[in-house]
Amino acid sequence: MASMANRQMEFATEKIKENHSNWLKSRSDVYDDESGAQIYCLVDDPEAIERQMKRAIANRLVHLHSILVEIFY
């Protein structure tokens, strides 16, 4: 079972890198006071990026688990 979990984690990590590389760059949306224009700022916070990546992987694994349950049970 641990081997299957490892394969799922590797698969999820690769899919996130392929499809959601913007998640690897933590972003903060702010607004310009004068114009009201939205400004995108990259956050230089490795811990925030790590938390965001872990959430993304966990969400992908939950999705994969629900698919596997449908297929095998």
Q: What is the pLDDT of residues 12-28, one digit of tens each?
A: 777 767 665 555 555 66
pTM of the predicted protein model: 0.35
pLDDT at 36: 78
Give residue-wise pLDDT tens across range 16-67.
676 655 555 556 666 777 887 766 565 667 777 677 778 777 777 766 666 6
**6/24 Cα distance (integer angstroms):** 21
Give the 3-state secondary structure percentages of the chain, helix then strand then coil, rounded to 5.
Answer: 65, 15, 20
pLDDT at 70: 63
Residue type, 41: C
Provide the 3-class DSSP secondary structure of residue 30.
strand
Taking all residues of the chain, what is their mean pLDDT, rounded to a whole number? 69
Number of C-alpha atoms within 13 angstroms, CB side, residue 70? Answer: 6
Domain ranges of the chain: 2-72
pLDDT at 40: 59
